[in-house]
Chains A and B, each alone.
Chain A
């Protein structure tokens, strides 16, 4: 009985997570991306907490807390400060058109389920059913990374990818020691990337690579709009 409710909770969270991953592709605005990332990270932290409760692991409670602090609070706050004011933001530059992106995303979700369902059913755990939607989220995040141009868009793609990979790792390998520590360590990468993005932005002068709207870019556009 207990494991059934565990399965249900994990399933529900995995599907919520997938919906967020899909919306990343649909909504290209910076503000929307930020909200989606926060929501997705919240789902991830809740999942870690659920796994901790049902798996009886004290370690995972800590992980859930760390995820909640870093991914729900710190990273969104840092990004909000680093990116130009939210109401001035243009949409992120995307290589593919919106319709094409949505079609591609749908195909990827299908592909994710097609690949992951037999894999997950070959190795039953209470959380196995959640693996396919999380795996589809990984593919969606990879697509985001490849289809975005400019530093800001790629950062969001990377953060989405990290979230999705954590989700798979939590569902598939929560019983294995150290896997979660590895996950927390990966947050360092995210931090370094954001740091590097600021450096890059500062040096950039708004000429290259950041059509996502560096401060200079936005200012330029506003000036153009005024005149």
Chain B
């Protein structure tokens, strides 16, 4: 099943390469998105019911991989279906090659990220993440605007530095392994089994570089400066991919390495630094959210905020800290991918992303407006949405273990709330500017929006039993006492 899942996007990207007609490309692309979602769901649900999925060579999905696969497949399907409509609007009939290139890279991005989370080998993971970055960088400038190219350069430079530093951390970890335990393989499983013999100092240094490196991809402050420009300049489906998938893959790598570091020294070092970076991210996001004029930049800074909350959850530790962080990853991916899609539709409709030029949204495009409002309320952390539940779990774990960090985190989240709320309210009401018809901008956007909105509500009202079982399995794999 896992092999099948990986083959779908890979073969789709090859098939699109041979397509001549644009319609067929779109069908192959959309079909691949749908089938990967199906395969991902089978893997995730199969896990919740029975034990591990087929290990094949170094491909080995444990519970954490299955969880990540579910997130990636869902976001890729949502963004993928929306991308078809968006590309149709942005690129006319003469730019078939551009569209082809876009779909190929899109599927390659999905393939590399799926590979990164399902492979049981640190080296291949690093290479796969690098591949994902390379695929996404050329997705960023769909229409060659100045700002998009500058953002792409910044993105490539900063994330490359991050990957190189993560590579350094990985090398240091191997060094620690090679001198103590001999030449063992590089898989997570063997690494966990020899962790007890490793030199704590070396492992701490390695974790430091890995935290900075993969934290850059995840969007943790102070490595965040690339993120707002890129998320707000990229085509909306690509922003959805980056915020829903790439940043979660960065966090996934951190979770894996943290488990190794914790097995070495009990987790004091890794937790402390995750808490510091997490709190700093919340602070940075809160400061910038207060004074934003563009709704896409609001979304970008809110990504930093929520990555901060996830890092705090991992740092707080304990069952609810880590399970809350995982649940937060899922909720954030669903919410943010929907919102980037909605804000993309807003840009198509109003031709601007400035908050003070968007007015009367509620009357102009009711469905879009409702989705926008629900998503934004969820991002602010209000019940009855999923992000409230997971954020609540994280912070209640925090008050039990690190009350000072938890209190400061909540204070920053409150500032961010105030900053976002003022802007959003104005967009929904007021007179509609001249020359806009009353309709929802993109028909193909409706399906993903409805699916995500249902999920956001559902996760806020109850935690599905299967998901709970999956979390238990993940935490057992990470060595967290249940």
Flag A196-209 by CB within 8 Å of B: 1 or 0 each: 11011001000011
Are B172 and A186 interface neighbours, CB within 8 A?
no
Q: Is A124 an interface residue (CB 8 A)?
A: yes
**Chain A residues near B361 (CB-CB < 8 A):** none
Q: Is A123 an interface residue (CB 8 A)?
A: yes
Task: Give the interface SS of chain A, mostly helix, strand, loop or mixed.
Answer: helix
CA distance A104 to B360 in the complex (A): 55
Q: Which of A151, A182, A192 contacts B134 (CB 8 A)?
A: A192
Flag A104-141 by CB within 8 Å of B: 1 or 0 each: 00000000000100110011110000000000001000
**Chain B residues near A18 (CB-CB < 8 A):** none
CA distance A176 to B182 in the complex (A): 9
Q: Is A178 an interface residue (CB 8 A)?
A: yes
Q: Which of A119, A123, A145 contacts B180 (CB 8 A)?
A: A123
From known contacts A118-B201, A123-B202, infer whether A189 and B168 are also in contact, taking CB-CB under 8 Å.
Answer: no
Q: Is B461 an interface residue (CB 8 A)?
A: no
Interface size on B, residues (CB 8 A): 40
Are B156 and A192 interface neighbours, CB within 8 A?
yes
Q: Which of A123, A181, A183 contacts B175 (CB 8 A)?
A: A123
Which stretch (B11-19, B83-91, B159-167, B293-301) binds chain A? B159-167
Q: Which of A124, A181, A186, A197 contacts B163 (CB 8 A)?
A: A186
Q: Is A161 an interface residue (CB 8 A)?
A: yes
Are A186 and B186 interface neighbours, CB within 8 A?
no
Q: Is B179 an interface residue (CB 8 A)?
A: yes
Q: Which of B127, B156, B174, B176 contacts A185 (CB 8 A)?
A: B127
Q: Is A77 an interface residue (CB 8 A)?
A: no
Are B176 and A123 interface neighbours, CB within 8 A?
yes
CA distance A189 to B179 in the complex (A): 30
From known contacts A165-B167, A186-B164, infer whether A119 and B201 are also in contact, taking CB-CB under 8 Å.
Answer: yes
CA distance A122 to B172 in the complex (A): 12
**Chain B residues near A151 (CB-CB < 8 A):** 153
CA distance A185 to B123 in the complex (A): 11
Are A196 and B137 interface neighbours, CB within 8 A?
yes
Chain B CB count within 10 A is highest, among A119, A124, A168, A208, for A119
Q: How far is the CB of B248 from chain A (nearest CB, A)?
A: 21
Q: Which of A124, A182, A189, A196 contacts B153 (CB 8 A)?
A: A196
CA distance A176 to B176 in the complex (A): 11
**Chain A residues near B180 (CB-CB < 8 A):** 123
Cβ < 8 Å to A, chain B residues 165-196: 165, 167-168, 170-172, 174-180, 183, 186
Q: How far is the CB of A3 from chain B (nearest CB, A)?
A: 14
Cβ < 8 Å to A, chain B residues 145-164: 146, 149-150, 152-153, 156-157, 160-161, 163-164
Chain A CB count within 10 A is highest, among B124, B134, B156, B180, for B156
CA distance A199 to B148 in the complex (A): 11
Are B178 and A175 interface neighbours, CB within 8 A?
yes
**Chain B residues near A165 (CB-CB < 8 A):** 164-165, 167-168, 171
Q: Is B418 an interface residue (CB 8 A)?
A: no
Q: Is B144 an interface residue (CB 8 A)?
A: yes
**Chain B residues near A158 (CB-CB < 8 A):** 157, 160-161, 164
Q: How far is the CB of B10 from chain A (nearest CB, A)?
A: 18
Chain A CB count within 10 A is highest, among B124, B127, B144, B160, for B160
Across chains A and B, which 7 residue pairs bring their CB atoms closest together, nearest first? A172-B175, A123-B179, A169-B171, A173-B174, A178-B123, A176-B174, A200-B153
20 additional A-B pairs beyond A123-B202, A177-B186, beta carbons within 8 Å, are: A119-B199, A123-B179, A123-B180, A151-B153, A158-B157, A165-B171, A168-B172, A169-B168, A176-B183, A179-B123, A179-B171, A179-B174, A182-B167, A188-B134, A189-B134, A190-B160, A192-B134, A193-B157, A200-B150, A200-B153
Instruction: Identify 27 residue pairs between A and B in the complex whose beta-carbon atoms are under 8 Å apart, listed by A's number.
Output: A119-B201, A119-B202, A119-B205, A122-B202, A123-B180, A123-B199, A125-B178, A138-B168, A145-B161, A161-B164, A165-B165, A169-B167, A172-B174, A173-B174, A173-B178, A177-B183, A179-B123, A179-B170, A179-B171, A179-B174, A181-B127, A185-B130, A186-B167, A188-B130, A190-B160, A192-B156, A196-B152
